[in-house]
Amino acid sequence: MIAIPANPTRGHLLRCGPGESILDLARHQSMGGLVALRKALAMQPAALIDEVKKATIRGRGGAGFPAGTKWSFLPKDNPKPRYLVINADEGEPGTFKDRYFLEQDPFPLLEGIAISAYAIGAHTAFLYVRGEFVHGIKVLEDAVEQMRKAGVLGRSVLGSPFALEIVVHPGAGAYICGEESALLESIEGKPGRPRNRPPFPAVAGLWACPTIINNVETMACVRLVLQHGADAFLAMGLPKDGGPKIYGLSGHVKRPGLYEAPLGLTLRTLIYDFGGGTIGDKPIKGIIPGGSSTPVLGPDALDVAMDFERIKAAGSMLGTAAATIFTEGTCPVAVLLRISRFYAHESCGQCTPCRDGTGWLERIVESIEHGTARPGDCDVLLSAANQIMGNTICALGDAAALPVISFVNRFRDDFEAHITGRACPYGAA
């Protein structure tokens, strides 16, 4: 059993509750800020990477790849500069956790970046922030400036020989730029079209230089590892999934928002204890557990633990641990239509199965919702989705196909009722 916090709106990662913020470097320092960075600078980079490896921070951007392991892929003998790139594109629908750091609590993120940059030997870090977060970009630029003035960033980080600049780089509205190789193209000033791999970014990333890409929350976790030590960090989570996690909750719940708990929280605790249950106390119809690309689950999954392994065993994915709930009386076809429309809109157009396939998915789901689909179209839909899966350069194709497959399988009766009744039985169309 994991320890369930009494007040989950605060914790190690969420230092501020809703409406609060820590935007002043002095205040950050008075709360134990920069201790982790000082500790890191006193260590050899290799020892630092070992400590992060030991903490098994699995990447918080969705894929769950262990941060320390990723760092160790950097080539030892490449003379080119190394870059650290932080992914603050936060685009996966349902997800709103990184925005917390950008707008309310930027220093743990920036400190984590400084620690990580020192560990991997990068002297420039690019923080790629989605363009809609105009306020967050201002907050970050101000926080970076405060750190530079205080000698925490710049030519000599806290008086050490290590130099670091953090560049806040705005995106301009493209979900695909959250995909790490598209993000690199975007920083280079190009359209955000994912790259073929290999080479992986650790070998040839930004301007073909060795590059590490990590999520915002991953950086905040790196700081916690240094602050408390790898063992203490592990004890905040599970033996194989280290650390605390920020969980998002949205949709038909009484108290949507961000909550912090150890990895392995059950959906039931998240929805009923933290979220206060569903609006109108209606029974749950569907749970999208980790962002809109993760396969939809039903109320039978309420006791599933939200960690990388167990949610996978239950047929979905942890993704960004941002759960969106919908209750009985909601048309699942209408919900899927919003999701399919999104992926069709966001396909970069590079791979034919995704460019054409996501459009097909949207049009078929739309015709089902509007009662104009033909018998057999559910199978056409499944077959179209299956032909996208695995046939594209990046995972956006899979992200579009997975919800379709899971919605049709879980709510097949609802889909067929639209077709036979030639209308949406929920009146949602």
Q: Which residues bind ligand FMN (CB under 6 A)?
A: 59-63, 65, 67, 87, 89-92, 176, 178-180, 213-215, 218, 394-396, 399
With CB cut-offs between 5 and 8 Å by kind, which of ligand FMN, another protein, none does residue 179 bind? ligand FMN
Which backbone phi and psi does 305 adopt, to 5 degrees? -85, 135
Residues that bind another protein (CB under 8 A): 90-96, 98-99, 130-135, 138, 165, 167, 169-175, 186-192, 207, 248-252, 256-258, 288, 292, 322, 324, 326, 330, 334-335, 338-339, 341-342, 345-346, 348
With CB cut-offs between 5 and 8 Å by kind, which of another protein, ligand FMN, none does residue 68 bind? none
Q: How far is CA 89 from CA 15, 36, 178, 209, in A?
A: 22, 26, 5, 21
Q: How far is CA 38 from CA 1, 115, 150, in A?
A: 34, 9, 14
Residue type, 91: G
Residue 157 CB-half CA count within 13 A = 26
Please state the closest distance from residue 144 (CB atom) to ligand FMN, in A: 19
With CB cut-offs between 5 and 8 Å by kind, which of ligand FMN, another protein, none does residue 322 bind? another protein
Task: Specify the residue, 94 or 112, whose C-beta has the smaller distance to another protein.
Answer: 94
Please state the closest distance from residue 232 (CB atom) to ligand FMN, in A: 21
With CB cut-offs between 5 and 8 Å by kind, which of another protein, ligand FMN, none does residue 396 bind? ligand FMN
Task: Specify the residue, 5 or 257, whose C-beta has the smaller distance to another protein.
Answer: 257
Cα dihedral 87, 88, 91, 92 in deg (nearest 10)? 70
Residue 100 CA to residue 319 CA, distance in Å, equals 18
Q: Map residue 284 onto helix, strand or coil.
A: strand
By the 8 A CB rule, do 308 and 318 touch?
A: yes
Please state the closest distance from residue 410 (CB atom) to another protein, in A: 15
Task: Specify the residue, 95 or 269, whose C-beta has the smaller distance to ligand FMN.
Answer: 95
With CB cut-offs between 5 and 8 Å by kind, which of ligand FMN, another protein, none does residue 192 bind? another protein
Give pairs for 277-283: CB < 8 Å, separation 24+. Answer: 277/253, 278/252, 278/253, 278/254, 278/325, 278/327, 279/252, 279/253, 279/254, 279/327, 280/327, 282/252, 282/327, 282/328, 282/329, 283/327, 283/328
Task: Specify the residue, 121 or 229, whose C-beta has the smaller distance to another protein.
Answer: 121
- Residue 19 burial by CB count (10 A; 0-12/13-18/19+): exposed, middle or buried? exposed
Phi-psi region of 349 (alpha: psi -120 to 50; beta: other; left: phi over 0): left
Please state the closest distance from residue 112 (CB atom) to another protein, in A: 20
With CB cut-offs between 5 and 8 Å by kind, which of another protein, ligand FMN, none does residue 266 bind? none
Cα dihedral 57, 58, 62, 63 in deg (nearest 10)? 150
Question: How many CB atoms are located within 10 Å of the residue 112 CB?
Answer: 28
With CB cut-offs between 5 and 8 Å by kind, which of another protein, ligand FMN, none does residue 390 bind? none
Please state the closest distance from residue 298 (CB atom) to ligand FMN, in A: 25
Task: Specify the residue, 130 or 418, whose C-beta has the smaller distance to ligand FMN.
Answer: 130
Task: Specify the residue, 50 or 165, whose C-beta has the smaller distance to another protein.
Answer: 165
With CB cut-offs between 5 and 8 Å by kind, which of another protein, ligand FMN, none does residue 252 bind? another protein
Is the bond preceding 403 in cis, omega lying within 30 degrees of 0?
no
State the alpha helices, DSSP H only, in 319-395: 332-346, 352-369, 377-388
Task: Specify the residue, 135 or 422, whose C-beta has the smaller distance to ligand FMN.
Answer: 135
DSSP letter at 178 equals: G
Please state the closest distance from residue 404 (CB atom) to ligand FMN, in A: 15
With CB cut-offs between 5 and 8 Å by kind, which of another protein, ligand FMN, none does residue 60 bind? ligand FMN
Task: Specify the residue, 92 or 260, whose C-beta has the smaller distance to another protein.
Answer: 92
Residue 98 CA to residue 148 CA, distance in Å, equals 23
Task: Specify the residue, 180 or 185, whose C-beta has the smaller distance to ligand FMN.
Answer: 180
With CB cut-offs between 5 and 8 Å by kind, which of another protein, ligand FMN, none does residue 99 bind? another protein
Please state the closest distance from residue 215 (CB atom) to another protein, in A: 13
Kindly give, in sequence order, each residue whose CB lies less than 8 Å from that of residue 208, ignoring residues fewer than 6 positions away.
Answer: 80
Please state the closest distance from residue 182 (CB atom) to ligand FMN, in A: 8
Task: Specify the residue, 89 or 377, whose C-beta has the smaller distance to ligand FMN.
Answer: 89
